[in-house]
Amino acid sequence: MPATNPLLSDWSTPFALPPFAAIADKDFAPAMEAALTEARANVAAIADNPAPPTFANTIEALELSGAILDRVAGVFYNLSGADSNPAREALQREFAPKLSAYSSEVVNNAALWARIDALWQGRDALGLTDEQARVLYLTRRSFVRAGAALVGTDRDRLTEVKGRLAVLGTQFTQNLLADERGWFMELTETDLEGLPDFVVAATRAAGVEKGAGGPVVTLSRSVIVPFLQFSPRRDLREKAYAAWTARGENGGDTDNRGIAAETLALRHERAALLGYDSFAAYKLETEMAGTPDAVRNLLMQVWEPAKAQAMADADALTAMMRADGINGDLQPWDWRYYSEKRRKALHDLDEAELKPYLQLDAMIDAAFDCANRLFGLEFAPLAVDLYHPDARAWEVTRDGAHVAVFIGDYFARGSKRSGAWCSAMRSQKKLGGDVRPIVVNVCNFAKGSPALLSYDDARTLFHEFGHALHQMLSDVTYDSISGTSVARDFVELPSQLYEHWLEVPEVLQKHARHAETGAAMPKALLDRLLAAQTYDMGFQTVEYVSSALVDLDFHDGAAPSDPMAAQAQTLARIGMPNAIRMRHATPHFAHVFSGDGYSSGYYSYMWSEVMDADAFAAFEEAGGAFDAETAKKLETFILSAGGSQEADTLYTAFRGRMPGVDALLKGRGLDKVA
């Protein structure tokens, strides 16, 4: 392999950032092959070491064995999610089975497994630190759960299953991106009538991005949701909504329904090979919830009051529709339109009035300012080459010392998958040197001059930055427990907790300033905004919880042969309101089918919300949102701790106890619903 491959060379860039300007798509395949070859050699050296196993020569060596592979994959998968192209999509399809095969080789290495198990059996005599003991426990557990203890045909079949699942997850993601990228609805100037200026601007910017020669509605949430909220054209709302909800089920090569069915069947087989009754039982064993019954109990405690609220709201919206002379039932493409009108009537709150106060740059500054007041972090812009002109970077410091590099990539584009996420191109660790992280937030906001956010967009920005803080403030020795390497139903605590600071009046008073005049948001508007925070919460909760229950039902028991029929059965059983759809229907449920991350785990946002409502109450009880002692405890026991202890242990260390569901219901305004 020529040393000139920039992915394999030493990086002399500032903070050892990837040299994006020097990296070409043709570099990834040879770099991945070289990285896999090196990783295999390193693992073989560990397994074949004639010396008796020690924590250093086995567990720590394993932690370091894939350093180059982590570096190459960190760059590639960040690019393939945020700025894909046909070449990168082809590489994803090529890499998925190769990486799965490598992972299975490691787990199936009998000599390596014997060393790990021997360390575990003799752990009491090793003199390990608490963190080392935790890493040994997690390493052995991950090997067992990946099939290391299997033999013969069962082991071989599990390897085949995992390889096929990796291929299916990649295909599901690419099909969804293709559907999102391929559809747009052209608008005439007449079609724009009745839309606020910011929505018109978003459709014009989307038209430029699509090369349409005029305004368009795309399937980007930052474009289609405002259109559904404000367009008086019911026919156009219906057409746009139909396309939005049909992603992944349009027939042809990009249809995801067959992929979902095969994925569920293979997951069930995987769990059975490992001795579990269901994939949900397997997956939830390592989460805070522990069992499918615990998850279902939480979701149903929230479902009934949420549904009651949503049904009452539906009656009110139907009456408004009747007043407009429209007969028939309230439809899903009507809800956001009439709900926006009702919000203005009830709270005198108009998003068109609100948006000029929520400039993207100002909300970034607000997130940074809160992090400074809470944790002493400083953010300085960096003039460095990045992977796309829309991306920008900051150096994060504290008391003059380097903490991290933070990259923000905020605007929607056709090459970016939908949604918002946080990832790390490099994670924090101390083993092998003090490695500081490179953390990336990716969002899909509409472009504008200036870019204006909805309040929900601003909340998303704070949410993802909460994940970023979990990565940036990580302070552990081992990569495997760094940052967000925690239980899935704990990982959303820092992100959802950070959203609360957007609701702090002094934060908005300082940073919510009018895009044209620079004036602070008037107190009356601020008060109305904060008073409306639980408005339409029945709708929001129903669309989320229904998705979480469908996900749970998919995996709790035998795999359904027809996922769409199974989805319909779950929705019928729980009494899904007719005018609300699941937030993520099966063919575009990327959380669940693009990989195993949130499979049986979409509930985790709500599990974490039980904690985040209670955690923010800790600040309020201590005297305010920026109480220094509480912030220090939050950093010590949660943000810096990674996966160094069990999640409930960490939370109890922070709060003194575990919370109940009451704080969540109160926070959503559902505590008094009949």
Residues identified as active-site: 464
CB-count exposure of residue 231 (10 Å: 0-12, 13-18, 19+)? buried
Q: Which of 430, 368, 431, 433 is nearest to 398 (CA)?
A: 368
Beta-carbon contacts of residue 64 (< 8 Å; ≥ 6 apart): 42, 431, 432
Q: Which two tokens stand for residue 309?
A: 């609220």
Cα–Cα dist 497/663, whole Å: 13
**C-alpha dist (Å) from residue 534 to 108, 284, 343, 538, 635:** 51, 30, 11, 9, 28
Q: Which two tokens stand for residue 49?
A: 């070491």
Q: Which of 36, 53, 25, 49 is nearest to 1 (CA)?
A: 36
Strands 184-186 and 216-218: antiparallel
Q: Which of 240, 271, 267 is nearest to 147 (CA)?
A: 271
Q: Is there a contact between 423 and 410 (Cβ–Cβ < 8 Å)?
A: no
Q: Phi-psi category of 348—alpha, beta or left, where left has phi over 0 and alpha has psi -120 to 50? A: left
Cα–Cα dist 287/489, whole Å: 6
Q: Which amino acid is at 236?
A: L
**Secondary element (H or E) of residue 244:** helix 234-245
Cα–Cα dist 477/488, whole Å: 21
**C-alpha dist (Å) from residue 502 to 21, 458, 511, 544:** 36, 8, 10, 22
Sign of CA dihedral 587, 593, 597, 603: positive
557-581: burial string, b at 16+ Cβ within 10 Å, e else: bebbeebeebbeebbeebebbebbb
Q: Where are the beta strands (DSSP E) in 103-246?
A: 184-186, 216-218
Cα–Cα dist 340/59, whole Å: 55
**Secondary element (H or E) of residue 423:** strand 421-426
506-520: burial string, b at 16+ Cβ within 10 Å, e else: ebbeebbbebeeeeb
The DSSP code for 429 is: B
Q: Which amino acid is at 572?
A: A
Cα–Cα dist 587/252, whole Å: 13
Q: Which of 503, 498, 489 is nearest to 534 (CA)?
A: 503
Find the DSSP H helices in 444-485.
455-472
Q: Which of 443, 445, 409 is nearest to 201 (CA)?
A: 445
Q: Output the DSSP codes for 451-462.
A: -B--HHHHHHHH
Q: Is there a contact between 280 and 555 (Cβ–Cβ < 8 Å)?
A: yes
Q: 435: which strand partners?
A: 429
Cα–Cα dist 492/139, whole Å: 23
